[in-house]
Chain A
């Protein structure tokens, strides 16, 4: 044994290098953020954190002791004082938003939970990478599953008794929320990695894809209303579009921002963010926020699209900023995990997790 020590040491070292020094899930993710007026919740690596919105201090973290087997990247869903969040140990759990105590854990999935769940107050819709979407009761009992050829990375959208799901298998799907029956299924150009935006006024869903197209789909029939690819110049769309000022607004990966006419997809206006954008656009009252991947945060006027203020975040930003109360919360992949800005662009606090 002694004479083989060197060899064993080398093999163990090689194993650690190949395994990324971790026995748990190996994945590179970004912080998943949710917030209300009192607190922000962040899923990142081995913990879910609750952070006081006023002070930026940690209220609790879940689990209390880190495990190499568990990692969190899905943004938590906050509903009725509960936090619903999945992890990379194939588990989906409900926590008390108050103290982080576990109410229940659903562990029948076979893949990672990376997408934010959705709810109508009765059903919890949790997409998974094992090619299934799970519908649970608020008590954690499985009601139905919807299966696809690929996993799911996008948050479902619940409208009345229907759930709309972007699928990596290039389809936008409408399901009956009570039974999981497929109401319609429309094939789009490319994998869908973000949720559709539901336009209540026009009854349409707008969704971007890795196929470099933004598509408008009729929410009742699933029929494609129009498609926009900027004459073949559009790059992938990674975030959910939004609507303001009478336009469907979205960014492509290269940082071109478009405001489209919801009726026919014609371009109302366009601007260049000056760098890659994978996060969604956050509309405020009379302005909107764009965060570039390199951490450049800019607020533009809605009326003339002129920049109002710009800040530089120390890190990379991939997820859409969140407005809660009078603060804008931004999840950061870098030296800090979460930053809060006021509406005038002042940094209120930065949160970096302690050990």
Chain B
């Protein structure tokens, strides 16, 4: 079922592109771009929703609400939902497009693996996946060599006898770059999301690097193309913040200038004062906490 709906069509499109451009490496890049293009409406919607959500969570009204109901989680949730409805923001709106994209990304990954068939059995299975209108005898086997890489093997560029994983380094860099410049601006109320985003920016490049280092370089090429395409896509949408890596660029404000939400939703009603953000009390160290709990001990006199 999964193979018939997702993997087989993807594999055939990938093979069709390969047949057209006569280069599997370029076909992977073009196919990645094609998928990005097809999923663009979803991504655009995700960006819009994330932006609206960030804006809402940084609004005085939201902050006040959080402060007011900080001891009543149920009421807070109820009020939040009310506000979301009023602002016409779907709290799941930013992750739903991602969830829809996930099977597409997984299908793309699997189809690349399938096309890089390296054993007779894999080749046989690939041949059976090809639609009759594509001439399998002209397509197969797919030429796995692209630039200095064998796309079916982990990539290393040997320079002066030293194998350098160039593609892995590029994947790590672009994943980090993507995490840095694409992450939405966050304010006080969104600290948890910001912390999560910070952790992701730290671990995701390492994870992608490890995958690229150990698996077939065709996949690493896909990761690289996908990262670059994402950065370009977000840049076109105007939601990248290059000041995070380029200090000479003016940083973007925490709340995006062109508000997509009605002003009335963001503002605090006139009769309610805007709360000052409370400074968190410094946490006592573990040793200090134990000390505090112990009864004072008398010193023994010698």
**Given known contacts A4-B199, A4-B203, A15 and B150 CB-to-CB distance under 8 angstroms:** no
Contact A14 B119 (CB under 8 A): no
Chain A nearest CB: distance from B111 CB in Å?
14
Contact of A210 among B121, B137, B145 (CB under 8 A): B137
A74 CA / B143 CA spacing, docked (Å): 22
The residues of A that contact B204 with a CB separation of less than 8 Å are 11
A8 CA / B124 CA spacing, docked (Å): 38
* A17 nearest CB neighbor, chain B only: B106
**8 A Cβ contacts from A219-267 to B:** 236, 238, 253
Contact A18 B109 (CB under 8 A): yes
Chain B nearest CB: distance from A20 CB in Å?
9
Contact A210 B215 (CB under 8 A): no
Contact string against B for A residues 22-59, beta-carbon threshold 8 Å, 1 for contact and 0 otherwise: 01001111100000000000000000000000000000
The residues of B that contact A73 with a CB separation of less than 8 Å are 119
* A316 nearest CB neighbor, chain B only: B121
> In this assembly, does B153 line the interface, its C-beta being within 8 Å of a C-beta of chain A?
yes
Total interface residues on A, CB under 8 Å, equals: 41
> In this assembly, does A199 line the interface, its C-beta being within 8 Å of a C-beta of chain B?
no
Contact A114 B120 (CB under 8 A): yes
The residues of A that contact B69 with a CB separation of less than 8 Å are none
> In this assembly, does B123 line the interface, its C-beta being within 8 Å of a C-beta of chain A?
yes
B-binding segment of A119-127, A186-194, A306-314:
A186-194
The residues of B that contact A130 with a CB separation of less than 8 Å are 150
Contact B120 A153 (CB under 8 A): yes
Q: Would you call the interface of chain B mostly helix, strand, loop, or mixed?
A: helix
**8 A Cβ contacts from B40-84 to A:** none
A150 CA / B200 CA spacing, docked (Å): 40
> In this assembly, does A203 line the interface, its C-beta being within 8 Å of a C-beta of chain B?
no
* A71 nearest CB neighbor, chain B only: B119
A149 CA / B204 CA spacing, docked (Å): 36
**Given known contacts A7-B203, A15-B210, A111-B153, A168 and B120 CB-to-CB distance under 8 angstroms:** no
A191 CA / B123 CA spacing, docked (Å): 11
Contact string against A for B residues 110-138, beta-carbon threshold 8 Å, 1 for contact and 0 otherwise: 00000000111111110100000000110
Contact A318 B203 (CB under 8 A): no
Contact A30 B120 (CB under 8 A): yes
> In this assembly, does A292 line the interface, its C-beta being within 8 Å of a C-beta of chain B?
no
The residues of A that contact B136 with a CB separation of less than 8 Å are 210, 236
A131 CA / B204 CA spacing, docked (Å): 35
Chain B nearest CB: distance from A113 CB in Å?
11
Contact A150 B214 (CB under 8 A): no
The residues of A that contact B214 with a CB separation of less than 8 Å are 19, 23
A253 CA / B124 CA spacing, docked (Å): 9
A186 CA / B58 CA spacing, docked (Å): 71
A320 CA / B127 CA spacing, docked (Å): 20
Contact of A318 among B118, B120, B127, B152 (CB under 8 A): B120
> In this assembly, does A278 line the interface, its C-beta being within 8 Å of a C-beta of chain B?
yes
Chain A nearest CB: distance from B136 CB in Å?
7
Contact of A26 among B150, B202, B211, B215 (CB under 8 A): B215
Chain B nearest CB: distance from A24 CB in Å?
9
A131 CA / B153 CA spacing, docked (Å): 13
**Given known contacts A4-B199, A191-B140, A210-B127, A30 and B121 CB-to-CB distance under 8 angstroms:** yes
A129 CA / B123 CA spacing, docked (Å): 13
The residues of A that contact B211 with a CB separation of less than 8 Å are 15, 18-19
The residues of A that contact B146 with a CB separation of less than 8 Å are none
> In this assembly, does B103 line the interface, its C-beta being within 8 Å of a C-beta of chain A?
no
Contact A29 B203 (CB under 8 A): no
A190 CA / B136 CA spacing, docked (Å): 9
A84 CA / B216 CA spacing, docked (Å): 27
Q: Which residues of B does A touch, CB under 8 Å?
A: 109, 118-125, 127, 136-137, 140-141, 143, 145, 150, 152-153, 196, 199-200, 202-204, 207, 210-211, 214-216
Give the 5 A-B residue pairs with the shortest CB-CB distance, closest first. Answer: A211-B137, A190-B137, A11-B207, A29-B119, A27-B119
Provide 15 A-B residue pairs closer than 8 Å at the C-beta atoms, listed in order of the A residue: A11-B203, A11-B207, A15-B211, A18-B215, A27-B119, A28-B125, A73-B119, A110-B150, A114-B118, A210-B123, A210-B127, A210-B136, A210-B137, A212-B137, A236-B136
Q: Which residues of A does B touch, CB under 8 Å?
A: 4, 7-8, 11, 14-15, 18-19, 23, 26-30, 73, 110-112, 114, 129-131, 149-151, 153, 168, 189-191, 193, 209-212, 236, 238, 253, 278, 318, 333
Could you list 16 further interchain pairs (A-B, Cβ under 8 angstroms) beyond the known A26-B216, A110-B153, A211-B137?
A7-B203, A14-B207, A15-B210, A19-B211, A29-B121, A30-B119, A30-B121, A150-B141, A168-B141, A190-B137, A190-B140, A193-B120, A210-B127, A236-B127, A236-B136, A238-B124
